[in-house]
Amino acid sequence: MLILPSPFGQIGFFILGALWGSFLNVCIVRIPHEQSVVFPASHCPHCQRGLSWYENIPLFSYLFLRGQCRTCHQKISSRYFWVELLTAGLGLLTYYYLTPWPLALLYFLLLVCPLVVLSFIDLEHQILPNVITLPGVLVGLGVRQAHLYILHITEGPLLNLNKLMLQALVDSCMGVLVGAGTLFLLSVFYQKIRKREGLGFGDVKLAAMLGAFFGWKPVFVIFLVASITGSIVGLIYILFSKKDLKAAIPFGPFLALGALFHLYWGQAFLQAYLKFFKNLIH
């Protein structure tokens, strides 16, 4: 539900998003190469010089240095800036649509940020690292439980809290099975028909992770949004790049887009969808 946010909350989540986006850039670069995201400290990818604190200020440093290293003057990828801006924007969206704010913080740090990392890694390397997706399944199960407990603490006691938490756990487990099982069967079916791989197992594991976070019913909304947006972008890419229909287009970013759509607007979409069909029947 959209609320009228406080200015402090807006500023706080925007700054948090930008700061966290700086760390996500490190993850995007290093995780595919199985490097530590902690050591060594941030450095120029060209001359390897360690960055000073004022070269590490999210958004501002990139603009101030005009997208180049202060020492070797080599160009720095604009992805660093756009990831920070995107994550800051997603921080604002999460604060707007999820209440109370501890709930927004929970989902932002444990779902939104990992989805940003996975999307950019998939776009560049066409992989979805197990180091994020597999622990993400367990994290998703825990977040569903924490969601209810936060509501219990902040918005008044929930009746039968233990029963609700058990139901949420069962729903999340079913979400894992439905999410992973659906994409796995589609992948097998596609491979048998087209004689080549369509969806990778990374997509299957990401679907399992999303099922853990949301449960089994929203998985189909996520798949719907991912399929529609993926098809549109895929056709545009093929038309303008003059590639054939066999061009490999990563599906992970579209699953992430579907998950974010559901996180922010899923309930409103579902209500409008049901209302439409109810009116259509009558």
3-state secondary structure 84-113: HHHHHHHHHHHHHHCCCHHHHHHHHHHHHH
Separation of alpha carbons 250 and 123, rounded Å: 6
**Low-confidence winner among 6-15, 75-84, 141-150 (lowest mean pLDDT):** 6-15
134 and 90 in a common domain:
no
Do 138 and 263 share a structural domain? yes
Per-residue pLDDT band for 280 (boundaries 50, 70, 90) equals confident
Q: Are residues 34 and 146 in the same domain?
A: no
Is residue 105 a part of any domain in this protein?
no
Q: Is the pLDDT of residue 3 over 60?
A: no
Measure CA 254 to chain center.
Answer: 9
pLDDT at 190: 73
pLDDT of residue 246: 61
State the pLDDT at residue 218.
Answer: 93
- Residue span of the structural domain in which 152 resides: 128-282
Q: Torsion angle of alpha carbons 209, 215, 220, 224, nearest 10°?
A: -60
Residues 91 and 132 in one domain: no
Asked whether 191 and 233 are in contact (CB, 8 A), the reply is no
241 lies in some domain: yes
Share of the chain above pLDDT 70, in %: 93
Q: What is the pLDDT of residues 199-231, one digit of tens each?
A: 788 999 999 999 999 999 999 999 999 999 999
